[in-house]
Amino acid sequence: MSDTPFDLVVIGSGPGGYVAAIRAAQLGFKTAIVEKDATLGGTCLNVGCIPSKALLQSSELVEEAQKSFDRHGISVGEVKVDLAKMLKRKDTIVRQLTGGVAALMKKNGIEVAQGHGRIGSASSVVVGTAGGPERTLATKRILLASGSVPVALPGVELDGDRVGTSTEALTYPEVPKELVVIGAGVIGLELGSVWRRLGARVTVLEYMDRILPGIDAEMAAAAQRIFERQGIKFLLGARVTGAKAQGDKAVVTWQDKAGETKSLEVDRVLVSTGRKAYTEGLGVAEAGVALDKRGRVIVGKHYETNVPGIYAIGDLIIGEGIPGLMLAHKASEEGVVAVEQMAGIKAHLNYDAIPGIVYTSPEIASVGKTEEELKAAGIAYKRGKFDFAPLGRAKAIQHTDGFVKILADAKTDRILGAHVIGHHAGDLIAELGLAVEFGGSSEDIARSTHAHPTLAEAIKEAALAVDGRALHGI
């Protein structure tokens, strides 16, 4: 047991936990962070956001070289892919970033305890190391940030090779000829896009009758049309009943909309049917921390659980007014707000202003409410929509697919939701996120000068379109 107790012990070093630890140290807290894995950074840095974006970038370049260079009058001969080198580049980026988190811990004087963390009591965390003795950290507060893991599907036998999750899909040693993706959510579509661009024939099986559940339906329908044009095959209303490895192949079976049993033999199966809160060995039950039916830690508005002194953030949590979004930046913001509130600062997080991005090509980005949500809540709204196609910049860079849609309150004009599908939508959404955060109106955006020629002009035009006065609409 250390002499003076820590002010805060964080369990889990993902974007929630490590950012919370930095903010705590900045505020003068004596802080420790416990991580069971060999490297810091959690799902996001090790097997999530970062490696997936590295592969998305590499594979997008392959497709650009194959399909777009010629139109620019550029000839580079046959495009060859060295997959091992591509994967190594991804691993190098991951190593640099996880090493960067370790350096940040050191710089901020945060003690890193490597091992499995478990709640000992509301004022102690027990850290177990493989084969070694347990260590107890005395602390005034505990912050749980143990994140999430992929959900298993009944009948699907994950063998960590032919039938795997996103983690395996970041390291396939060769491009599968045939890849089945189970689940048309963000992760499945991003990684499905990677392997399609590298040459795989990709079939996506989705239980629902649409792709990208939770995203504005008009955007999802537009995205599906574009992905189909790119060569991804979608089988909607497909209830997967089984998948298993068979030699160097995998067989997946499902029931189609008509109830007929179908099956397919493919090279690999990527199961991406969502993620669940991870509390294994964390000692939540023993400590009496309340969980919801789906195993998520329930928190109040200060991110405190029902056990005083034990807090939780990130993929792990749910609460009143706190949606169970699984996003890295949401986890980080919660970490900052939770710690600042512990220090007596009046911090607040606006969940309506958290952008969500799908890093496919084109990207899909949203902030605030969807049209479906506004309709369900009976809120009267006006909508303004503008395509990228007429924009000079979109034509110059040959990225004309997609549009911007702004939803504004019918009476006050306040922006309630904004959605972008198009090149660099993930960067463009920042302006709209800020507008939502500041309680801005479509008129505010329409009156702001947007540089020409930029893709951001579509945002200004969509804001003008809310009031029927887009200038370049055709």
Choosing from 6, 9, 10, 12, the residue that interacts with ligand FAD (CB under 6 A) is 12
Instruction: Indicate if 424 belongs to the active site.
Output: no
CA 303 to chain centre: 21
CB of 282 to ligand FAD, least distance (A): 5
We find the least distance from the C-beta atom of residue 47 to ligand FAD, in angstroms, to be 6
The 10 Å Cβ neighbour count of residue 65 is 17
For residue 256, give Cα distances in angstroms to 139, 210, 472: 54, 14, 44
Type of residue numbered 152: A
48 near ligand FAD, rule: CB under 6 A: yes
156 touches ligand FAD by CB under 6 A: no
Applying CB under 6 A, which of residues 58, 98, 139, 146 lies at the interface with ligand FAD?
A: 146
Give dist(CA 336, CA 20) in Å, integer.
5
Candidate segments 33-41, 236-244, 438-446, 453-461, binder of ligand FAD by CB under 6 A: 33-41
Strands (E), 52-211: 111-114, 116-121, 124-128, 135-138, 142-144, 148-150, 163-164, 178-182, 201-206
Is 114 a binder of ligand FAD (CB under 6 A)? no
CB-based contact 273:153 (threshold 8 Å):
yes
Bridge partners, 204 (sequence order): 181, 234
Show contacts with ligand FAD in window 334-373 (CB under 6 A): 359
Specify the residue, 182 or 465, whose C-beta has the smaller distance to ligand FAD: 182
Query: Binding segment for ligand FAD among 134-142, 232-240, 284-292, 314-322 (CB under 6 A)?
Result: 314-322
13 binds ligand FAD (CB under 6 A): yes
Give me the torsion for CA of 254, 256, 260, 261, rounded to 10°.
-10
Rounded CA gap, 191 and 179, in Å? 10
CB of 225 to ligand FAD, least distance (A): 23
Q: Which residue has the tokens 């991580």?
A: 35
In what helix (H) or strand (E) does residue 249 lie, and over which residues does it extend? strand 249-255
- DSSP letter string over 136-162? EEEBS-EEE---EEEPP-TTB---SSS
* CA-based radius of gyration for the chain: 24
- Of the two residues 153 and 187, which places its CB atom closer to ligand FAD in the complex? 187
Q: Rounded to the nearest whole angstrom, what is the least distance from the CB of residue 326 to ligand FAD in the complex?
A: 4
Subset of residues 366 to 405 that bind ligand FAD, contact rule: CB under 6 A? none
Stretch touching ligand FAD by CB under 6 A, among 70-78, 130-138, 310-318, 395-403 = 310-318
Q: What are phi and psi of 35, to 5 degrees?
A: -140, 130
- Exactly one of 72, 329, 450, 452 is catalytic; name it: 452
Asked if 443 and 361 touch (Cβ cutoff 8 Å), the reply is no
Select 44 or 394, whichever has its Cβ closest to ligand FAD: 44
Out of 117, 120, 192, 362, point to the residue binding ligand FAD (CB under 6 A). Answer: 117
The rounded distance, in Å, linking the Cα atoms of 142 and 120 is: 10
Q: How many residues bind ligand FAD (CB under 6 A)?
A: 37
Q: Which run of H or E residues covers position 287?
A: helix 284-287
Among 23, 30, 36, 393, binds ligand FAD (CB under 6 A): 36
Contact flag: residue 16 with ligand FAD (CB under 6 A):
yes
Question: Which of 397-426 are b and which e, b meaning 16 or more Cβ less than 10 Å from the residue's Cβ?
Answer: eebbbbbbbbbbbeeebbbbbbbbbbbbbb
Q: Residue 187, interface with ligand FAD (CB under 6 A)? A: yes
Stretch that binds ligand FAD, among 1-9, 73-81, 142-150, 254-262 (CB under 6 A): 142-150
Nearer of residues 36 and 197 to ligand FAD, judged by Cβ: 36
32 is a contact residue toward ligand FAD (CB under 6 A): no
Nearest CB to ligand FAD, comparing residues 184 and 316: 316
Which CB atom, from 239 or from 278, has the smaller least distance to ligand FAD?
Answer: 278
Binding residue for ligand FAD (CB under 6 A) from 54, 198, 223, 327?
327
Q: In the numeric block, which tokens belong to residue 254?
A: 């499902």
The yes or no reply on residue 278 touching ligand FAD (CB under 6 A) is yes
Binding site for ligand FAD (CB under 6 A): 11-17, 34-37, 42-44, 48-49, 52, 116-117, 145-148, 166, 187, 278, 281-282, 314-316, 326-329, 331, 359
Catalytic residues: 452
